[in-house]
Structure formats: C-alpha cells, structure tokens
Structure 1
Amino acid sequence: MKKFFTPLFFITCIILLAACSRGIYRSETKDLETLIKRLTKKGSDDKVLADIRSVYEPALQRAQQNISNYRYDAPPQKWDRMIPEMQAMQQMFDIINTNQYAVRMIKPVNFYRNIAEAKDSAAADWYNYANDYFERAGRNNYKEAFEAYNKSISYVPNYKDARQKMQEAFDRSLIYVLVNQVQYDGFGFNNNWNWNNYNSRDQQLQNQIIRDLGGRNNRNIPAYYFNEWDLRRENRAPDMVIDMVWRNMRSDQPRDRTRNYNRSKKIETGRDTANKPIYQTVTATVYVTERYLEANADMNIIFTDAKNRTQVDWQAIPASYRTSIEFATYSGDRRALEDNDWNLINRGQNQPLPNREEVFEQLMRNIYNDLLNRIRRVTGW
C-alpha cells in the first residue's frame, strides 16, 4: 500500500523539534539550579553570580533570537516551536526568582504573559486549522481535524467547542469492520490437518479477536468490529473486511535427538581392620533422548475496502513453535546416579506431545498480540 505524507506528519515533526528545543536548555537549567542553591547558601558571592550570568544570559539571547525567527513561520505550527522556548526561559526565571539578590543583579525576563498570549493564539490557530479539515470531510481529513482540535485544547483547555468537534470528527470517522473467521491455505501434518473439524473453535477464536479489539464498544480508535451475523443485526454493510489466512503451515513429525554423559561417585563399601572406611569408585552412563516437535506458519492479514473492493493492506506475521520432552535410560552402577538422573530415567517414554489442535493454538497464541496491534493500526488512524 502506498504511504503518503499528510499534514499530520509535518505536525509530528514540529512537535519533535519543539521537544528538542526544550532539551537544549535542560543542562543549562540544571546548572542554574545548582548555582542558585550555592548562592542562597552563601548569601552573596560575586563569582557565583558571574557564573549564573554566564549561564542565563546566553540562553536568554538564544531563546529570544529563536522566538523572533519562529514568528515568521506558518501558523499554527510555529507555536509548537515558540512556546517551548518561552517555557524554558520562564523555568529559568522561576529558578532565579527564588533568590532576591540574584533577581536584583541578573534582572531575569518574566515570560508569563508572553506564554499566556501565545497559548491563546496557538489555540485559535489550531482550532481554525482543524475547522478547515473538518469542513473538507473524509476520514483522513477528520483525522487531521481531530489531532488539530486536540492541539488546540492542549494549549487552552475547553477552547470554544473544540472538544465537542473533536468527538464529532472521531464519530464521523467510524468504520464498521467485518472480521472473518480464520482460514487455512496450503498447510499440513503430511498435508492433512483436517481443520474442517474445528469450525466451532474457529468461531470462538473469531469472537475472541473481535471482543479483544473492542467490538461495538471500542472507544480508542474510530472502528467497530463485528462478525457477519452481528453486522447483519446492525443492518449495516461493512466498510472494511479483514481476512486472516494461515499459510505455509508445517509441522514436522516428532524427532529424537540423543546425548549421553557419565557419572562417577566414591561410595563406602566397608571398613578395614583399623575401622577406617573403604571406598570404591562406581560409574554409570546416562543416555538422554530429547523428543521434539517444531511447527511454523505465516498468518496473512488482508484488509479490503468493502465499498470499492480494493485491497487496503496486506501483512504477514511469521509464527513458530517448538516443544520437547526428555527421558533417559542408563547402564552401569545405579549407585553412581544423582537425583536429576533419576528424574529423567523415571519419566515414561510415551509422554504425549501436543496434538494438531494444541499446536495451532500455540502458534496463534505466539502471534496474537501482534495480530491485534496490526489490525488496530490499519483500521485506526
């Protein structure tokens, strides 16, 4: 699927740049805190005061220059650069303001009013920006509007009707998603899984996926998820259809891998004439068999626009599963063996490995969260 850069992409870049701008002042702010604490402890000190000035004044000049430059950027994005600069300098002002001697000597600039005015302007510009996209309609435009309204209220909570319009943009973006049962294509234990026997289990899995996505009650992303029957009860045609297809399913027959190791131990066999213990070295060999089973498959997720019958996206998630059992025999003197050896020896050689159904369930379990997250990403914004 082709990816296009939207205005939201550039908004995100601006936000990241603003975060970097705040980071530039982080070390200077920390140095300033340390110096003000030192000055407060000493009462007055020309050397400390000079150090404070050497930290604050270059930072102030840089911030004022940046703010002046950003004024010529396009609204509303410029506010995401300007306001963090003001906030960083306001934080420095607040630190210096804790020491009245430093305030008199340094005369820091109070940005409180500038920040308040800038936030009002930012809220207004982001609100107008959102309205423009809201009026264009269409899911992508509603997405831009939603994010922009959210930016507006991040600067001025409850700005006009931004919160209401934000909800309306979300509601107008809602799509009804049909999630079909899992299908199987080109698989096999010797090319014969006989999965037609598990239709009821497939239906349970389908319903679990829908339930974990939020179903009809989802509030996190603008999408409702249904099976075919529930969608009919809603008397709605789907906007998007999701098909999940297991492909390249393969599970080898159980295989054995062997290894062996030796044990030796000194044991007391009696006493000599001086009543001293007599020792004998006994040995044994333990033969361990690891019986293992490996399975793998690819879960293909196909997203289709139900209205124009075009593929929206296609993704594949590789899944794998390995399990094993161990048992052992031995030769030699049993007295040389340890408890761990006996644990292996006492295990039966007929321990069951997972059957086909259990292998399938484990493959699905291994990729389940990834499956849900990918569905959310494609069906959401």
Structure 2
Amino acid sequence: MKKLAFPQLASIVAILLYTLLLSCKSGEKLYNKGRYDEAVNAFVKKLQRKPQDATAARLLPEAYRQAQGMREDRVNSYLRSNDDLKWEHVRNEYRSLQSLYTAIHSSPAALKVVQPKDYRDAITGAQENAAEIRYNRGMDLLEKGDKASAREAYDEFGAALQLIPNYRDTKQRRDEAFQLGVVNVAVSQIEVRSTYFQFSADQFRDYLIRNLQQRNINQFVQFYDERVVKNANLYPDEYIELRFFDFVVGQTYVDRIERDVSKEIIVGTTKDTTGKEINLYKTVKATLYITKKTVVSKGLLDYRITNTNNWQVLRTDRIPGSYTWLNQYGTFKGDERALSDEDKRLMGGVDMAPPPPTELFMEFTRPIYDVLARDLQSFYSRI
C-alpha cells in the first residue's frame, strides 16, 4: 500500500475537518431559517460522521419537534378544508414525516437524543381515504353517461390505482370508462370521377388511416377504415368524408422559345501609344432554340367531419394541392462562347416522357395529405 506524504495527509485531514465544520454550520443555518426538515437531515448526517458532536445532538430534537409540529399543523388544516383531494395532501405530509423517521433511525447517535414517530399507519389510512375519494368521483362521473365525463372518470380511476394498486374493482371500472370515453372515427372511401385513379385514391386513404393510428394522437380517439367498420358492425361516433374535387392530372404545355444571345469576349491583347498592354474584345453571337415541356397536375380535396349521433358538421375544409413536372432541352446555332452556364446546361437535353398519371396523381396529393394530417391531428388532440 502506498503511503501518503505528510503534506498530502495534512491536506486531507484539513478538508475533512472543514467538511464537518461546514456541515454543522449548514445545519444551524437551515434551523435558523426555519427549514426544519433539511436541518434534521443535516444534523443526522453530522451525527453519523461524528456521534459525539454536541451542537448536532442539542439541536436535532428541537429541529425534529419543529418539523413535526409544522407538518401536523398542515395536516389539521387540510382535514378542516372542503378540498375533495385533501387526503392526498395529508398523505404527502405524513410521507415527509416518515422520511424523517427513517433518517433518524439510520443513526444510533441520533436515536439517543430523539425518538421519532412512526407514521406508516397514518400513511396507509390517508391513502385508503384518498383512493376511496378518487374511486367515488370516478363512479359519479361514469353515471353521467357522456363521453367527456367517462374520460374524466378514467383519470380518476387511474389516480386511485396510483394510490393503491388493485384497489377494489378500480381496474375494471377504468377499462369501462375508457370504452365509454373512446371516440370511434370512420374514414370514408374516396370516390373519384375516374376509375383509373381509384387505386391511387385508395392508397392515399389507406396511408392516411395508418398514419393517424400510428401517431396515437389521442388515446381516446380510434380511427377505422370505413370498410372495417361495416364488416365489424361497429357504430362510429364520427365520420370523416373525403372527396377529391375538380382535379386535373397531366395537363401538358409545350413552349418553343427562340432567343438570341451575345457576349463580349477577349480575343487578344495589344499595346497603346504609351506601351501599356490592353485587351482586344470581340462580340460573339448565337441563337438558342429551347423546348419547354410543363406537365401540371392539381386538385382539391374536400373533407368533412360529422357527428353521427346528431349529424352535426364538426369541421369542414377544402385543401388545394399541385405538382408541376418540367423538362427543358435545346439546341443552338452560332458561337458556343456566347452561351451562359445556364444556357449550356440546357443544350444537348432530350425530350423525356413525364411520369405516368398515377404517379402524378400521388405527387399532387402529397401536399394535400400533409395539410390534412396536421388538421386532423390538431382537431382530435383537443378531444
């Protein structure tokens, strides 16, 4: 084992003494500031390290008495109040007192000067009362029979289980509240005027439903394909109707442009009368023949959310979307040096066929999908 040099040993001893002194002073400061729980813990730690410390032994009983009195006063205040959830506050106070009990029992020296009270039975009683209150609130809400109250009941039963797991039949009641509180939403099939695009429209709808389900926007909202609802004999609470309106796919425009270009270039150098070298310039020219093919696809999606119980329209909107495919190519006559870099990029291109109509359909609906998904997430997150 390596021996410490005297300066190192002295330094370590000095640090330990300073820490002990600081701990004692910290406990006194906390006590003088009325932070009695923290003072108790500080004095206990001091007695764990130095069981004979007179200051900690003298102040610990008083700090504990003050902490106990302060928290029991709060308990009595809560018990006199009309707050439905007072037993949860009472439990928290008892828990704080029990933590002091545990801390003091961790130090034999601390136990010699103070005998803390065991609050385990008090905590158990408070938890049982608190759980009963939460349970009864949940049952009262369930009896109202509406979805909003059922969702509140679900939270109440959840709070009861947090207090006492397996309390009575709370799990069963919470499941019942969840089922009553859920909003089942059916998403309609999308009808388009051309059967050629029906498959693409179905893909749009299917992807939307999967995305809404995976996002888990709200635990109380469940999305279904309209076909699933019919086959399972489910009765949806809300119905999202989707319809593509006034769409055009593959509208083609061809523009042929003829454009003259010119540029001054340096062709050499010469000297002036003073002998200074100067550049010689020449203007070069060319004619560009550019073909620009533009294929435009665009349309509108109407959507409407309806409450199926009273057929009230909850939300309606129309979302535009568009996609433009562009191909440009060209040739030129004349001096290539007259062309700009952008002009050169157009030269030598070829006439390309646009994507197939089904792909164009998916492209113009992509921005529609993004807006629709955000709208539905915003709408259903507030339920």
TM-score grouping bracket, smaller chain normalisation: 0.5 to 0.7
| 1:117 Cα deviation from its structure 2 partner | 0.6
Does the CA-based 8 Å contact 1:221-1:376 persist in structure 2? no
Write the deviation string for residues 311-347 of structure 1: whole angstroms up to 9, x where unpaired: 446799999x9xxxxxxxxxxxxxxxxxxxxxxx9xx
Give the alignment of 1:1-381 within 5 angstroms.
Answer: 32-49=40-57, 52=60, 56-74=64-82, 76-180=84-188, 199-214=198-213, 221-242=219-240, 303-312=305-314, 363=367, 373-374=377-378, 376-378=380-382
Displacement of 1:107 in angstroms is 3.0
> Kindly tell me: are residues 222 and 359 of structure 1, through their superposed partners in 2, closer, same or farther at Cα, counting changes over 3 Å?
same
Aligned 8 A contact 2:320 2:368 in 1: no
Classify 1:370/1:42 alpha carbon distance in 2 versus 1 (closer, same or farther; 3 Å).
Answer: farther
Give the SS at the match of 1:47. helix
Aligned partners of 1:362, 1:33: CA distance in 2, in Å?
62
Offset of residue 116 of structure 1: 0.5
Q: What is the distance in 2 between the residues matched to 1:197 and 1:32? A: 79
Q: Which amino acid aligns with 2:105?
A: N
Letter in 1 for 2:53: D
Instruction: Name the CA distance, whole Å, in 1 between partners of 2:368 and 2:68.
Output: 57
Secondary structure of the equivalent of 1:71? helix
Rate the CA distance shift 1:237–1:114 in 2: closer, same or farther, 3 A: closer
Would you say how many aligned residue pairs link Structure 1 and Structure 2? 282
Q: Distance in 2 between matches of 1:37 and 1:241?
A: 64
Q: Secondary structure at the match of 1:81?
A: helix
Q: Which amino acid aligns with 1:135?
A: E
SS in 1 for 2:222: strand
Distance change in 2, residues 1:40/1:180 (3 Å): same
Secondary structure of the 1:36 match is helix
> Please, what TM-score do these two structures have when normalized by structure 2?
0.56
1:204 and 1:103, CA in 2 relative to 1: closer, same or farther beyond 3 A? farther
Give the 3 Å change call, closer, same or farther, for CA 298–105 of structure 1 in structure 2: farther
Matched to 1:310, the amino acid is Q
In structure 2, the residue matched to 1:338 is: none
- Counterpart of 1:232 in structure 2: which amino acid? K
Q: How far apart are residue 125 of structure 1 and its match?
A: 1.9
Cα distance in 2, alignment partners of residues 367 and 90 from structure 1: 54
Say whether the 8 Å CA contact 1:244–1:301 is kept in structure 2.
Answer: yes
Give the CA deviation at 1:174. Answer: 3.3
The residue aligned with 2:332 is none
**Cα separation, 1, equivalents of 2:380 and 2:138:** 24
Contact 1:242/1:301, CA 8 A, preserved across alignment: yes
Q: Distance in 1 between matches of 2:301 and 2:70?
A: 53
Instruction: Give the distance between the partners of 2:306 and 2:233, measured in 1 at CA.
Output: 20
CA displacement, residues 188-238 of structure 1 (integer Å, 9 cap, x when unaligned): xxxxxx9997543342232233234449xx998344322222222233442
Aligned AA (1:116): T
| Aligned residue identity for 1:153 | L
Q: Give SS of 2:223's match.
A: strand
Distance 1:160 1:99, change over 3 A: same
Does the Cα contact within 8 Å between 2:212 and 2:373 map onto a contact in 1? no
For residues 316 and 53 of structure 2, the distance between their equivalents in structure 1, rounded to whole angstroms, comes to 68
Flag the 1:207–1:56 CA change in 2: closer, same or farther, 3 A: farther
Q: Within 1, Cα distance between the matches of 2:116 and 2:88?
A: 23
- Identity %, equivalent residues: 21
Which secondary structure state, in structure 1, belongs to the residue aligned with residue 80 of structure 2? coil
What is the Cα deviation at residue 167 of structure 1? 0.9
Preserved contact between residue 87 and residue 126 of structure 2 (Cα < 8 Å)? yes
With 309-318 and 132-141 compared, the bigger mean Cα shift is at 309-318
Give 1:305 deviation, angstroms: 1.3
- In the alignment, structure 2 segments of 5+ residues that lack a partner are 1-34, 246-298, 324-344
Specify every segment of 5 or more residues in structure 1 that has no aligned partner in the other structure, as ranges: 1-26, 185-193, 248-296, 322-344
- Cα RMSD of the aligned pairs, angstroms, is 5.1
Shift of 1:300: 9.3
In the superposition, relative to structure 1, how do residues 366 and 230 fare at CA in structure 2: closer, same or farther (>3 Å)?
A: closer
- Relative to 1, partners in 2 of residues 1:219 and 1:357: Cα closer, same or farther, differing over 3 Å? closer
Q: Distance in 1 between matches of 2:94 and 2:301?
A: 50
- 1:122: Cα distance to partner? 1.3
Work out the CA distance in 2 between the residues paired with 1:376 and 1:55: 53
Name the CA distance, whole Å, in 2 between partners of 1:299 and 1:43.
Answer: 79
**Alpha-carbon distance between aligned partners in 2 of 1:196 and 1:300, rounded to the nearest angstrom:** 19
Give the Å deviation of 1:98.
0.5
The 3-state SS of whatever aligns with 1:221 is: coil
Cα deviation, 1:27-59, whole Å, max 9, x if unaligned, reads: 976665454333211123122345655764444
